[in-house]
Amino acid sequence: MLKKDKINFLIKALDKLYPKIPIPLNHNDPYTLLVAVLLSAQSTDVRVNKITSILFKEANDPKKMIKLGVNKIRKIIRPVGLSPTKSKAIYNLSKIIINDFKGEIPKNFTDLESLPGVGHKTASVVMSQAFGIPAFPVDTHIHRLMYRWGLSNGKNVVQTEKDAKRLFPKNKWNDLHLQIIWYGREYSPARGWKKEKDFITKKIGRKSL
């Protein structure tokens, strides 16, 4: 199957499977999304959503987060892991947002990635899900499936993102990155994978898998 045929099949299949696409991380605005995505590093969305329901009751904007303080933030977020680093990042980025961006989350990659604890993937999620600006955040599910589907070489997430942006229409990026994540979780997991249940990979995947 040619790559263009794979792409057309993928888009149609995922649109049919996920016509309404749920956002994995609970949030109310760009700031709470930014914090939630930062917390999700090396953790699960389920665990993060449990913790943010507690954290955001205490502090759901930069000013309240600063008042909460690093130690209190760290105590609340401890179950998600890496709490010493994440608590400092949340506190410091909140100060920067107040002092340098008038309390608003910046709407560009350069400024977002300048914030403590915010890498390219986190910035991409915020740009895509908070602001609707085309981006293609690559997580472990997308990285895995782009390789299984023969759409990327699987060497690193940077290359996977480049391949995804090159192959998929820009106006579909924001939907597709979420659709692929949900598909990966439900049909094509890293562990306990059964190709016969993974109908997309069975149709378009690498023959060697």
Question: CA 52, CA 26: separation in Å to the nearest integer?
Answer: 8
Angular region, 103: left φ>0, alpha ψ -120 to 50, beta rest: left
Active-site annotation, residues: 121, 139
Angular region, 33: left φ>0, alpha ψ -120 to 50, beta rest: alpha
* Structure tokens, 6: 């794979």
Cα–Cα distances in angstroms (integers) from residue 75 to residues 16, 51, 62, 78, in the given order:
42, 11, 18, 5
